[in-house]
Amino acid sequence: MMHIKQVEIIRELFRQLDENVNVDAGEQLLNPAEVYTSSRIAEQEWQTLFRNQPQVIGLSRDLPETGSYITVDDFGVPVLATRDAGGNLRAFVNACSHRGARVAGERRGRRDRFTCPFHAWTYSGEGELLRVPRAGDFGELDKRYHGLRELPSVERDGLLWVQPDPHGKLDVALLPGSLGTELAASGIGEMVYQGESSIDMPLNWKLANDTFGETYHFSRLHHDTLGQLFYGDVLAYEELGRNHRFVIASRDIEDLRERPEKEWRLLDGALVVYFLFPNIQLTVSRLGANLVRIYPDGVNPGRSVSRISFYLRPEVVDALASAGGAAVDASNTYDHSARHGTDVIAPEATMEIFRSTIEQEDYAMGVDTQRAAESGLIDHLIFGRNEPALHHFHRCFSAALGLPPPQVLAAPAGLRAVGS
Ligand code: FES
Ligand SMILES: [Fe+2]
Alpha-carbon torsion (336, 342, 343, 348), positive or negative: negative
**Is 141 near ligand 1, meaning CB less than 6 Å away?**
no
- In whole angstroms, what is the distance from residue 31 CA to residue 313 CA? 39
> CA-based angle 273:276:277, to the nearest 5?
135
Q: Are residues 183 and 48 in the same domain?
A: yes
Burial level of 13, CB count in 10 A (0-12/13-18/19+)?
buried
Residues 105 and 198 in one domain: no
**Domain assignment of residue 83, yes or no:** yes
- Domain boundary, last residue among 118, 151, 170: 170
User: 236 and 312: one domain?
Assistant: yes
Rg of the chain in Å (alpha carbons): 23
Is 59 found in the same domain as 48? Answer: no
Task: Answer yes or no: do 264 and 244 share one domain.
Answer: yes
Do both 202 and 281 map to the same domain? Answer: yes
Along the 420 residues of the chain, how does pLDDT read in single tens digits? 999 999 999 999 999 999 999 999 999 999 999 999 999 999 999 999 999 999 999 999 999 999 999 999 999 999 999 999 999 999 999 999 999 999 999 999 999 999 999 999 999 999 999 999 999 999 999 999 999 999 999 999 999 999 999 898 999 999 998 899 999 999 999 999 999 999 999 999 999 999 999 999 999 999 998 899 999 999 999 999 999 999 999 999 999 999 999 999 999 999 999 999 999 999 999 999 999 999 999 999 999 999 999 999 999 999 988 887 665 444 444 444 444 433 446 778 888 889 999 999 999 999 999 999 999 989 999 999 999 999 999 999 999 999 999 999 985 555 566 665
Could you say which ligand is closest to the alpha carbon of residue 122? 1
Domain CATH for 263: 3.90.380.10
Q: Is residue 415 part of a domain?
A: no
Nearest CA to ligand 1 atom 1: 99
Among the candidates 120, 142, 170, a domain finishes at 170
Instruction: Determine, yes or no, domain membership for 375.
Output: yes
Last residue of a domain, one of 140, 170, 200: 170
Domain contains 418: no
- Which of 93, 94, 98 to mutate for ligand 1's pocket (most ligand atoms within 8 Å of CB)? 98
Nearest Cα residue to atom 4 of ligand 1: 119
Instruction: Assign residue 118 the CATH number of its domain.
Output: 2.102.10.10
Q: Counting atoms of ligand 1 from 1, which one is nearest the CA of 116? A: 2
Residue-wise pLDDT tens digits, 339-370 = 443 344 677 888 888 999 999 999 999 999 99
Ligand found nearest the CA of 129: 1
Q: What angle do CA 290, 295, 300 make, to 5 degrees?
A: 150
Omega into 404 within 30° of 0, i.e. cis?
no
Same structural domain for residues 37 and 149?
Answer: no
Residues 45, 130: one domain?
no
Looking at the fold, whether 109 and 187 belong to one and the same domain comes out as no
Specify whether 48 is located in the same domain as 95: no
Q: Are residues 109 and 183 in the same domain?
A: no
Write b or e for each residue in 129-140: b if 16 or more Cβ atoms lie within 10 A of its Cβ, otherwise e. Answer: beebeeeeeeee
3-state secondary structure the chain: CCHHHHHHHHHHHHHHHHHCCCCCCCCCEEEEHHHHCCHHHHHHHHHHHHHCCCEEEEEHHHCCCCCEEEEECCCCCCEEEEECCCCCEEEEECCCCCCCCCCCCCCEEECCEEECCCCCCEEECCCCEEECCCHHHHCCCCHHHCCCCEECEEEECCEEEECCCCCCCCCHHHCCCHHHHHHHHCCCCCCEEEEEEEEEECCCHHHHHHCCCCCCCHHHHCCCCHHHHECCCCCEEEEECCEEEEEEEEHHHHHHHHCCHHHCCHHHCEEEEEEECCCEEEEECCCEEEEEEEEECCCCCCCEEEEEEEEECHHHHHHHHHCCCCCCCCCCCCCHHHCCCCCCCCHHHHHHHHHHHHHHHHHHHHHHHHHHHHCCCCCEEEECCCCHHHHHHHHHHHHHHCCCCCEECCCCCCCCCCCC
Q: Ligand 1 in contact with 326 (CB < 6 A)?
A: no
- Are residue 265 and residue 381 in the same domain, yes or no? yes
156 lines ligand 1 (CB under 6 A): no
Residue 419 domain-assigned (yes or no): no
Does residue 40 fall inside a structural domain? yes
| Cα 414 to ligand 2 centre (Å) | 31
Number of domains within the chain = 2
- Domain membership of residue 311 (yes or no) is yes
Instruction: Supply the range of the domain harboring residue 80.
Output: 55-170
- Closest approach atom of ligand 1 to CA 101: 1
Are 50 and 296 in contact, with CB atoms under 8 Å apart? yes
Gap from CA of 96 to ligand 1 centroid (Å)? 6
Q: What is the pTM of this model?
A: 0.94
Q: Please indicate, yes or no, if residue 417 is contained in any of the structural domains.
A: no
